[in-house]
Structure formats: structure tokens, C-alpha cells
Amino acid sequence: MTTEPFWIESAAGRPYPALDRDLEVDVAVVGGGMAGLSTAWELVKEGLSVAVLEAGRIAAGVTGHTTAKLSAQHTMIYAKLAKSGGAETARLYATSQQEAVEHVAATAAELGVDCDLERVPSFTYVESAGAVEEVRAEVEAAAEAGLAASFTDSSPLPFPIAGAVRVEDQAQFHPRRYLLGLAEAMTARGARIFEGTRVVALDEGEPCTLRTEGGMTVTARDVVLATHYPVFDRGLLFARMKPERELVVAAVIPAGRDPRGAFITTEQNSRSVRTAPYGRGRRLLIVTGERFEPGAGGVEERFGRLAAWTAERFGADEVAYRWAAQDNHTTDGLPFIGPFHPGARHTYVATGFGGWGMSNGALSGLLLTDLIRGRQRSWTRLYDPRRLHPLREAGPALKMQAAVAAHFVGDRLGTAPAGALAELEPGRGAVLKVDGRRCAVYRDEEGCLHAVSAVCTHLGCVVGFNDAERTWECPCHGSRFGVDGSVLQGPATEPLDRVELAGNELGSEAGSGPGRRTAG
């Protein structure tokens, strides 16, 4: 079993250089995932000079950890949209999402990108008879919105269901191969891609200026922030989004046992199923589920539940791959794609995809390119980050902020004393209070301790330990850090300070380098 996502393991791609000199372009795109690269490609086609700035490797962050369903059917969203925003809102959502699906398929064909794109029906199913009426309502709303939706009480799954929404003409693909193809096409047309280039500052002047961690500056007329969670908070979008992680397990099955479709249910803490080509006569069964808040802990146990469900339902006993995905859910259930904040003139954002980053990423490229070029689509306003729906959003927003406040206060009160350090087993991490300071301490398999500040550098919440991925995670806004404090995922752009625990044996990384602090 490997913990590297199948998409990354099966498509290495070529490296791109880090930015090592100042640069001037028409548009700077921050983030090299589905949204960022899709936007960059559309802009390049318009004849603009474009630079993509990626902190890690392109198509290897959140996009590299996706399940890669390419669908306009997003569980039970259409009945909710019709109720909260009206039938026209649901219709515009369906139109834009299906357009994004078709656009990816057309782009892959146009460029000749071999990304295993397959047309499949999509199912949102329930096993509980009591949920069937909700399914029927969703079928009605999705059909009215314009999708090829129908009700069924059977499916290709190897277990019975009570009912499902079936939507035709959806797709699944290899996201990294697709995006690597886009990258090759756009660089051939003059675009610049920089990996290992973290952006840490933004000046929204005319022109805009970005500053990187390495001290380089990029000057651009327009800037697109496509970093999954915005690395700058000027739009105050953090108050309207909630991060959530999901786990993924994948097992090899004979091609004859492929259910030939994309499936999802919100029951049992979510279960999502699809397959991918895996050599002659075999398919890779990809199962996603076990949603949880970053930093919640117990991740190994959650992986165990997901693997057990996969074995029970599909007879797939041996997990070949496992990884985790993360996305942000907005207070009204719609992504934020458009001007960054009310005063923005040349800065744009794409975030809050709610677990459906493939269609929303492609949609972002179309929408943001239109805005930058002064055009509008019928559905542009639907995704505008500046929208406010007080009645619709008040309840979810208050709940989100109450949860953040609870973490900000409660996680500090729950910090363990320094004496608990002796009980920390190899491979485990804990937040301890040492000389009045909260420290995130990890003991590696050799018994050495690695200590960093437990306070997230984004907005100051206390991190929690992920025992499966061996990472520190912020429950408030989803920032993730390595055990050495390095930033793995934003919105944080600064690492956790390293801490030296006096009188304890430390790993070489834990007690050296910039940011070193002493506790004790």
C-alpha cells in the first residue's frame, strides 16, 4: 500500500523551476491546481501573458488528492437550491456545471490529452427507505434545472439500494494527466509556470504586486488567487467557509466487477465510489468517505472503517492506495468565484468548491477569464463572492463561527501538561503546555522528539494531530503543517515556530534552523 495518491504516482510529470527573478505579466495566477491551471489556459488562449505561481508542484496539492469525478450532479444540491434561491438559481447552477463538464471533455480532445476520460452515469443513492422521498424531490429539481435526471431503485452497485438520482452524460478522468497536458500546451504558447514558489504578500495597486517567500516580485495587471483556501483574508471569506477532510482508499478489482458509474451517498458519513483504468483486465476501485474536521484526530480508525466497508461491499480486501482530500464548504452551498472583495478591481478568487473541485475548477477558468476580459455569462453573478444572503447564510455562518470560537478557547483549555511528554509513544503527537507555551510535540519512530508551536500562523487557533498522515492540522480554517512545522497546505503561509524542549533528546530537525525557540 502506498500513501501517495494514485494520480500522482501514475503521472510523474516534468518539474518546473522556482521563480528566481522579478517578473512582469498581464495576469498572475497563484495556485497550480484545477482552478489555477484551467484559468491560466483560458487566459493564454486570449493572448495574455500569464505566470502561474505554485508553492509546491502543480496538480499535486488538493487537486492531486481528489477523487476526480467530473459531474454536474453534486449529491442533493438542486432541491436545496430551488428552495433557497428559486428554480432559476438551480437552473443556472446546472447549466454552468454541465458546461464545465463538456468543456473539459472538449479541451482534452482538442489537445489530444490522454487522461482516461470516461463518460459514465452518476448516481446519488440512499439505502434507507425513509430517505426515498428526498431522492424523488431531488430528481424533480435536477430535471427541472435541465439535467438528464431520473429516479431508479436499482443500480450497478453490488448491494441493494432504496433509491437513487441517476444523471446521464457525466464523466470521470485522470486529473493530473489532464492538467499536465494543459501545462504543456500553455507553456508552448508562452505561459510561465513556477513551482516551489510560495506567495506571501499581495499589493492590490495598479498594477498589482506579489511578493514570494524567496523575495522575488511579480507585477501584474490582474491577479487570480486559486490556492484552494485564499492565502489572504481581505474578502473575509474565512468567516463563510468551513474546511472538511475526507479519506480515500483504492483497491484493484477485475474489470468484470466494475460497477461502471460514479456513485455517492451522504449516509454512513458519506461514501463515494468510482473506478479508473488500471492495466489490462483490471480497474482501480476508488472509495471516498469518513468526513471529519481537520485536526479532529482518530484518522487511522477512520481509514479502518472505510477499508472495512470497501471489503464488505466489494470484496476488495487489499488496499493498494490510501490518501486524504480536503475541501471548503460555504455558508450558502455555492462556490466563491469572482472579484476577491467589494473593493477589488484587479484581484479575483476561486474557492469553496464543496467537494466538487473538478467541475468548479474548470468553471472558474471560464468565469474568471470572462471577468478579466470584461465579459459576463448568464451565471456569473451566481458565484460572485460579494453576494450576501443574510437569511440563507445567517444560521450556517453563526454555527461556523461558534465552532471556531469553541476551538480558539476550548483547545487551549484542553492542552495537556508537559509531564504527559513521557507517555507520548513513537509515531504519536500531542499538544502540551511547556512553561506557559503550547507546543505541538511529535515523537518519531526512533524515539526522537520534534516540537513546534501549536498555534496556527494563520489566525491563531490550536492545531491537532493527524495520526495517519503524521501532520498538524488547524481545525478552524484547514491549514496543515509537517511535524517540522513546514506549511503543507494554506491558508497559512508561515511555518510553525520550532521549539527546543530543554532536557529532552530532539531530532536534528526539531532543534535547528530559523524559527528555533526554547521552552524550558
User: CATH no. for residue 419?
Assistant: 2.102.10.10
Q: 382 with 417, same domain? A: no
- Residue 322 has a pLDDT of 96
- Say which residues have a Cβ less than 8 Å from residue 448's Cβ, sequence separation at least 6: 505, 506, 507, 510
User: What's the length of the chain?
Assistant: 520
Q: 154 with 43, same domain? A: yes
> Cell numbers 468543456 label which residue?
103
Residue 101 lies inside a defined structural domain of this protein: yes
Q: 349 with 462, same domain? A: no
Question: Which residues partner with 286 through β-bridges?
Answer: 250, 274
- Residue 416 has a pLDDT of 53
Q: 101 with 203, same domain? A: yes
- Residue 421 has a pLDDT of 74
Residue 283 lies inside a defined structural domain of this protein: yes
Reduce the DSSP state of residue 215 to 3 states and report it: coil
Q: Which among 353, 388, 423 is the end of a domain? A: 388
- Residue 350 has a pLDDT of 97
List the domain range (segments joined by +) for residue 443: 413-519
Each residue of 447-472: pLDDT tens digit? 889 999 999 998 888 999 999 999 99
Number of domains comprising the chain? 2
Under the banding of pLDDT at 50, 70 and 90, the label for residue 515 is very low
- Residue 423 has a pLDDT of 80
67: phi then psi, degrees, rounded to nearest 5: -90, -20
Indicate if the pLDDT at residue 13 is higher than 80. yes
- Residue 49 has a pLDDT of 98
DSSP state of 19: P
Q: Which of 178, 176, 311, 160 is nearest to 249 (CA)?
A: 311
Q: Which of 326, 368, 356 is nearest to 65 (CA)?
A: 326
Residue 405 lies inside a defined structural domain of this protein: no
Q: 462 with 508, same domain? A: yes
Indicate if the pLDDT at residue 313 is higher than 60. yes
Q: Taking a C-beta distance cutoff of 8 angstroms, is the pair 8, 60 a contact?
A: yes
Q: 177 with 256, same domain? A: yes
- Residue 81 has a pLDDT of 96
Rg, C-alpha atoms of the chain: 23
What is the bridge-based pairing of β-strands 471-473 and 516-519?
Answer: unpaired
Residue that wins the pLDDT comparison between 98 and 397:
98
Residue that wins the pLDDT comparison between 400 and 297:
297
| Range in 227-241, 242-256, 271-285 the model is least confident about | 227-241
Using CA atoms of 294, 472, 425, 511 in order, give the dihedral in degrees to the nearest 10: -170
Q: 334 with 421, same domain? A: no
Separation of alpha carbons 211 and 59, rounded Å = 22
Q: What is the pTM of this model?
A: 0.88
Mean pLDDT on 119-136: 97
Residue 442 lies inside a defined structural domain of this protein: yes
- Residue 417 has a pLDDT of 56
Indicate if the pLDDT at residue 253 is higher than 80. yes
Under the banding of pLDDT at 50, 70 and 90, the label for residue 326 is very high
Q: 326 with 369, same domain? A: yes
Q: 418 with 384, same domain? A: no
Residue that wins the pLDDT comparison between 418 and 393:
393
Separation of alpha carbons 116 and 178, rounded Å = 9
220: phi then psi, degrees, rounded to nearest 5: -150, 145
Indicate if the pLDDT at residue 519 is higher than 50. no
Residue 155 lies inside a defined structural domain of this protein: yes
Under the banding of pLDDT at 50, 70 and 90, the label for residue 43 is very high
Under the banding of pLDDT at 50, 70 and 90, the label for residue 513 is very low
Indicate if the pLDDT at residue 307 is higher than 50. yes
Q: 20 with 162, same domain? A: yes
Share of the chain above pLDDT 90, in %: 78
- Residue 504 has a pLDDT of 47
Under the banding of pLDDT at 50, 70 and 90, the label for residue 514 is very low
Q: Which among 388, 404, 427 is the end of a domain? A: 388
Residue 324 lies inside a defined structural domain of this protein: yes
Give the 3-state DSSP-derived string for 34-60, with helices as H, strands as E and coil as C: HHHHHHHHHHHHCCCCEEEECCCCCCC
- Residue 238 has a pLDDT of 77
Cell, residue 506: 530532539
Q: 257 with 374, same domain? A: yes
Question: What angle is formed at CA 488 by the lines to CA 487 and CA 492, rounded to 5 degrees?
Answer: 50
Indicate if the pLDDT at residue 503 is higher than 60. no
Residue that wins the pLDDT comparison between 513 and 276:
276
Whichever domain contains 192, its CATH number is 3.50.50.60
Q: 419 with 362, same domain? A: no
Reduce the DSSP state of residue 481 to 3 states and report it: strand
Mean pLDDT of all residues belonging to the chain:
90
Residue 166 lies inside a defined structural domain of this protein: yes
Each residue of 346-368: pLDDT tens digit? 999 999 999 999 999 999 999 99
| Range in 257-266, 370-379, 417-426 the model is least confident about | 417-426
Residue 157 lies inside a defined structural domain of this protein: yes
Share of the chain above pLDDT 70, in %: 90
